[in-house]
Amino acid sequence: MRGTNINTTMEEYQNIEEQEQAQYSAANIQVLEGLEAVRKRPAMYIGDISEKGLHHLVYETVDNSIDEALAGFCTHIEVTINEDNSITVQDNGRGIPVDMHEKEHKSALEVVMTVLHAGGKFDKGSYKVSGGLHGVGVSCVNALSTKMVSTVYRDGKIYRQEYAKGKPVTGVEIVGDTDIRGTRQQFWPDGSIFITTTYKYDILANRMRELAYLNAGITITLTDMRLDENEKAGIEGVRTEKFFSEGGLRDFVRYIDSSRTPLTGDVIYLNTEKQNTPIEVAIMYNTAYSENLHSYVNNINTIEGGTHVAGFRAALTRTLKSYAEQQCQKELEKLAKNHVEISGEDFREGLTAVISVKVAEPQFEGQTKTKLGNSEVSGYVQQAVGEALANYLEEHPQEAKLIVDKVILAATARVAARKARENVQRKSPMGGGGLPGKLADCSDKDPANCEMFIVEGDSAGGSAKQGRSRQFQAILPIRGKIFNVERVMWHKAFEHEEVNNIIQALGVRFGLGEDSKEANYEKLRYYKVIIMTDADVDGSHIDTLLMTLFYRYMPELIQKGHLFIATPPLYRCRLGKVEEYCYTEQDRLHFMQKYNNGREDGIFTQRYKGLGEMNPEQLWETTMNPETRLLKQVTIEDAAGADYVFSMLMGEDVGPRREFIEKNATFANIDA
């Protein structure tokens, strides 16, 4: 799904400054591959053709401007979602060169826009470090757009070229004079290629925010011109946000942790370079229990980690351990007496950290190509973090003591957790303890065919049991609110009956940190795990609690795409012979508009307050039948964003939580 796009060699990287001075010319661009391939197999180039791929078009375009900024020539990037769902990205860089390309006999602009991989990154004279996820270049964006217009402001002139499906429909024309510099790209994604062409403001905003934190000093603005979309978000008129960070990753960890209580006063921060590899790290300890480690290589979120993360972990463990051995001997002796040994993960409980490295020739590995493979980077990061952390501990003895105490507590709790978990596992399916009594299992035994609904409440559970297909749908009713994983140490989970039932029914153990290997995902008994709750505030709260539980304790269940949320309807609307289920307030208004000139009267509206109000047939028809239902898949596209949201939703502060739920509610405010 992800590729590399850093094609400068290390040697070139070391000479950036000289290169910046080297006169770039069109001859530097090499030609590799045609664009027809992109339209034929779009997924190969941009990952997929869903909403995700659609948004990647923007990232790819913005990355080119980020590169120009990293090269030192651009300070502002403006991203606009236009009223017709086209996207405009404009920067104040040098402008893409428009001179003639020697080999191609075309302008450099045209080559960049119409030839795959001709981004100026294969050439000797230019420097590229920002990474589009696929690194395929803006020509891919062009190929996948019905129309694209490039405008270059350079040398007092405005140059313009227009394309359709990647092919030029005009030459590079001079269309006016200007006293600004920069590049403006506008594209209209091809609806015959993408499943959807409607951009989501929040998805773009999260990535632009992330880019602003990762590249301190660059101003990125995001503007949404679509009045109807803005209105849905409760915003009148044009929506616009400015993302700018002076503190870089320091600000990023503060943002991620804004709903958590800091353990120590300030952020531990380093921004350095080892062997010409820029390394930036920000670390903050909080009083909670989860580990939130976010890592980036060339602005790409390395979800699977890699050598830079390994180096970070090694430095953290080694430095804190050696500090504790020197300064906290008494405490360590006490631990040893109780047969508790500190392990790596204990150093990371309540840790929020962001690591960002820029690697000249990154090797990406792993299932999703988001794992850094370059072995040399591990040592660089370990050295940089080790030095900075040792200095910090030396200079902040009080904070150091707080951190060591927390590590000791974590180790003690972990040993307790193991005992508690071993108790549970003895009762697990593989341990011969059988399935939970509350589970109504399905008859098919092939996990690939099977689904398990986690249903809130016994009455809804009853309807679901009657309405389901016994063959492939299992029902696990749970009662009331399950516990909040953000606020307890993780072994406490095993004291909860509902949590134990879920573990036993799924057949998968929880795995965390070093224990994550123990999470035996190959034993998963259902490939679809579907959370089904009432379409109201309580229901969405339970959704969140369950999602957090899986996010923290079974992250691979989400990463592998097994977790879903069911969408029950809010209303059944009938007028004469037409009858429709409405899943949102908008659906209902739409029904009124379509069949009754927007009038509420003469329409029969049944409002469902909960799943329990539907009879089993209705529940099957609207929410459970794979032919007609709407399932939302839970994904972790944006792990830092998810961390922020989960800690905010689960944290002690009620205000932001209420605000978020109200803002993001898809349910009508029927019980407010």
CB-nearer residue toward ligand 0RA: 25 or 469: 25
In this chain, which stretch among 10-18, 61-69, 226-234, 384-392 interacts with ligand 0RA, using CB under 6 A? 61-69
Measured CA to CA, the distance from residue 527 to residue 524 in angstroms comes to: 7
| Cβ nearer to ligand 0RA, comparing 63 with 229 | 63
Catalytic member of 456, 486, 638, 643: 456
Distance CA 293, CA 556 (A): 16
Confirm whether 224 is a catalytic residue. no
CA 422/CA 666 separation, integer angstroms: 40
Q: How many CA atoms lie within 13 A of 44 on its CB side?
A: 7
Q: Which is nearer to ligand 0RA, 144 or 152 (CB)?
A: 152
Residue 64 lies near ligand 0RA (rule: CB under 6 A): yes
Please, which residue, 94 or 468, has the CB nearer to ligand 0RA? 94
Q: Report in angstroms how near the CB of residue 67 gets to ligand 0RA at its nearest.
A: 7
Query: DSSP alpha helices (H): ranges in 427-554?
Result: 458-467, 497-506, 537-553
Find the binder of ligand 0RA among 5, 88, 161, 183 (CB under 6 A): 183
CB of 180 to ligand 0RA, least distance (A): 13
Q: Which two tokens stand for residue 214?
A: 């990762």
Residue 276's region, left for phi above 0, alpha for psi from -120 to 50, else beta, is left
Asked about 456 being catalytic, the answer comes back as yes
534 is catalytic: yes
Cα(228)–Cα(232) distance, rounded to whole angstroms? 6
CA distances from 218 to 62, 71, 182, 209, 358 (A): 12, 12, 15, 11, 17
Taking alpha carbons only, the member of 109, 89, 229 closest to residue 157 is 109
Q: Which amino acid is at 312?
A: F
Task: Quote the distance between the C-alpha of residue 461 and its chain's center.
Answer: 32
Smallest gap, in angstroms, from Cβ of residue 25 to ligand 0RA? 8
Relative to beta strand 351-357, strand 106-107 is unpaired
Q: In this complex, which beta carbon is closest to ligand 0RA, that of residue 123 or of residue 536?
A: 123
Identify any residues that bridge with 269 across adjacent strands, giving them in sequence order: 282
Q: Which of 345, 451, 534, 638 is catalytic?
A: 534
Residues 72 to 131 in contact with ligand 0RA, rule: CB under 6 A? 91, 93-97, 120, 126
Close Cβ partners of 387 (under 8 Å, ≥ 6 residues apart): 270
Nearer to ligand 0RA, 221 or 368 (CB): 221
Distance in Å, CB of 163 to ligand 0RA, minimum? 15
Cβ distance to ligand 0RA smaller for residue 64 or 540: 64
Judged by CB, which is closer to ligand 0RA: 62, or 460?
A: 62
**Catalytic residue chosen out of the listed positions 20, 538, 556, 585:** 538
- HSE (side-chain half, CA atoms, 13 Å) at 221: 14
* Residue closer to ligand 0RA, measured from CB, 96 or 283: 96
> Cα–Cα distances in Å, from 193 out to 36, 38, 56, 115, 521?
13, 11, 14, 19, 34
Alpha helices in 215-244 (DSSP H): 227-232
The mark string for 355-394 relative to ligand 0RA (x by CB under 6 A, - otherwise) is ----------------------------------------
Question: Do residues 79 and 89 touch, judged by C-beta distance below 8 A?
Answer: yes
**Distance, CA of 469 to CA of 569 (rounded, Å):** 19
Concerning whether 304 is annotated as a catalytic residue, the answer is: no
Q: How far, in Å, are 121, 244, 255 from residue 241 at the CA level?
A: 31, 10, 16
CB atoms within 10 A of CB 365: 15
- Order across the sheet with 268-274: list the strands: 268-274, 277-285, 351-357, 292-297, 300-301
Q: C-beta of 134: minimal distance to ligand 0RA in Å?
A: 16
Q: How far apart are CA 388 and CA 320, in angstroms?
A: 12
Phi-psi region of 299 (alpha: psi -120 to 50; beta: other; left: phi over 0): left
From the candidates 536, 543, 638, 643, give the one annotated as an active-site residue: 536
Regarding 189 and contact with ligand 0RA (CB under 6 A), the answer is no
The DSSP code sequence of 163-174 is EETTEESS--EE
- Residue count of the chain, please give it: 672
Residue 306 is encoded by which pair of tokens?
A: 């890699």
Task: Please say whether the beta carbons of 55 and 87 come within 8 A.
Answer: no
Task: Indicate whether 68 belongs to the interface with ligand 0RA (CB under 6 A).
Answer: yes
Between 64 and 500, whose beta carbon lies closer to ligand 0RA? 64
**Smallest gap from residue 24 Cβ to ligand 0RA (A):** 4
Which C-beta is closer to ligand 0RA: that of 22 or that of 435? 22
CA distances to 355, 451, 529, 628 from 298, in Å: 11, 39, 34, 42
Amino acid at site 163: Y
Q: What is the DSSP letter of 611?
A: G
Q: Please, what is the minimum distance in Å from the beta carbon of residue 106 to ligand 0RA?
A: 16
- What is the nearest approach in angstroms of ligand 0RA to the Cβ of residue 490? 46
Q: Where in 4-33 is the site for ligand 0RA (CB under 6 A)?
A: 24
Least CB distance from residue 646 to ligand 0RA, whole Å? 35
User: Of 168, 24, 27, 60, whose CA–CA distance to 110 is shortest?
Assistant: 168
Q: CA angle 663-669-672, nearest 5°? A: 105
Q: Please give the size of the binding site for ligand 0RA, defined by CB under 6 A.
A: 13
Minimum CB separation of residue 149 from ligand 0RA in Å reads 14
Note whether 293 and 309 are within 8 A (CB): yes
Q: Which is nearer to ligand 0RA, 77 or 279 (CB)?
A: 77
Minimum distance, C-beta of residue 132 to ligand 0RA, in the bound complex (Å): 12
To ligand 0RA, the closest distance from the beta carbon of 97 in angstroms equals 5
User: Facing residues of 279 across strands?
Assistant: 272, 357
Catalog residues that contact ligand 0RA under the rule CB under 6 A. 24, 64-65, 68, 91, 93-97, 120, 126, 183
- Residues carrying an active site annotation: 456, 534, 536, 538
